[in-house]
Structures are given as C-alpha cells and as structure tokens.
Amino acid sequence: MGLIFSRVEINETSKSLYKAIAEVEAEYTHKLQTIAESKLTIIDETRQAYKLCGKEPSRYRPSSEALLRRIRTGKGLYKINNIVDTINLLSISSNFSIGGFDQAKIRGDVILDIGNSDSYEAIGRGNLNIEHMPGLRDDFGFFGTPTSDSVRTMVTSSIQYLILVYYDFCSNDQLEASLEEARIALAKYCSGSEIVTKVIG
C-alpha cells in the first residue's frame, strides 16, 4: 500500500482544480474509446485481487474503475469539495483505487484484511457487503475497501488531517510516482502541509 499523511484545509473546489479534472476527463474520454477501463493494468490487478479473495469485481467495482466508467459513459465526476475532488482526480490519473480518511476518526492499529460477514455504511452506496473483499479495519471494524470508504471515517468539514491509502496488489512500479503526484496535488489544491508519504508491504 501507498500511504500519505497530510494536514489539509477543506474548501470549495477551485477553478484550477476543475480545470485539472476536465483535462484528465478529456484524456480518458479519448483513451477509453480503444480500451475498457477494466483492462487497464492497475485496475485489472485490483480486479484479480478481488477474485482471489472470493469477490466478484463486476458487481463490486474498484472505485477507480467506477470513476473511469462514469467518464466513458459521459457522466463525468462528482463535484464535492476540494479534498474529495482531489482524491478523485488522483484516482483517475493513476488508476489506483484510493481510500481517503479523516485520521481523527480511526481508532487503534489499521490492518489490511479480507472482509468477514459484516458490512458498513458506504459513502453514496448505503450498506456495503464487504464479505470476501480486501479492506482496512481498525479497533471499531472495517472502514475502507477499494470499492468504497465508510461513512464513519469519511472526509467532512471538521477534517484536519487526511490519510490516503493507495491499494496496490502487485507492487506496481508506478506507485511511488503516483504518491509524489499526490503530494504535489494536496499542497496545491488542499493547502496540504506536514505531508509524509511511504510505501509498506
């Protein structure tokens, strides 16, 4: 996994961020005319990880695949706030599924595990069945998967410190460059400071 820790400031999305999103949307609108988003290398690796864990990726698409599917079908990305929109920009540009969490809402150690029979309330999805899905859990239970983050740890107006998790199941050589791209974007669009990046696993 790639990890980023950053102090951030939440605001409305800036014109410069809207422009960056529009440019990446245009790039992938063209690119996805010749290749399906599910066949892009990093997304395909995530889908294979789902299958190995026993989860059907076509029913529970990784978030990066779902975002690119919106672009291919002409729906575009959701516009929420500067932090969420930056995460979505980074996800489509890198093809990694990225979890974005309010550090203050996480309790105890965080473990990458395979989901049990529990579920959680996922952002924009309602109750998410996480059984056989790779995901993150803390002392209170699961709170993030490559498909969708939980409402419990989501970014809200009270956030001060953000944690980003890049799910990388095949030690992809693009991970470190993607983390550097994120560091620059957080500083530019989210007033990011005290930024630390690391790769673990």
Report the sign of the C-alpha dihedral through residues 34, 40, 41, 45, in that order. negative
Maximum Cα–Cα distance across the chain: 45
182 vs 87: CA distance, rounded Å: 8
The SS3 call for residue 161 is: strand
Q: Are 167 and 134 in contact (CB under 8 A)?
A: yes
Q: Where are the alpha helices (DSSP H) in 32-163?
A: 41-53, 63-72, 82-94
pLDDT in tens, the chain (201 residues): 999 999 999 999 999 999 999 999 999 999 999 999 999 999 999 999 999 999 999 999 999 999 999 999 999 898 999 999 999 999 999 999 999 999 999 999 999 999 988 889 999 999 999 999 999 999 999 999 999 999 999 999 999 999 999 999 999 899 999 999 999 999 999 999 999 999 998
**CA–CA separation, 131 and 153 (whole Å):** 19
CATH number of the domain residue 79 falls in? 3.50.40.10
What is the extent of the structural domain holding 41? 2-199
Between CA 126 and CA 31 the distance in angstroms is 31
Q: How many domains does the chain have?
A: 1
Which ranges of 54-174 does DSSP label H, i.e. alpha helix? 63-72, 82-94
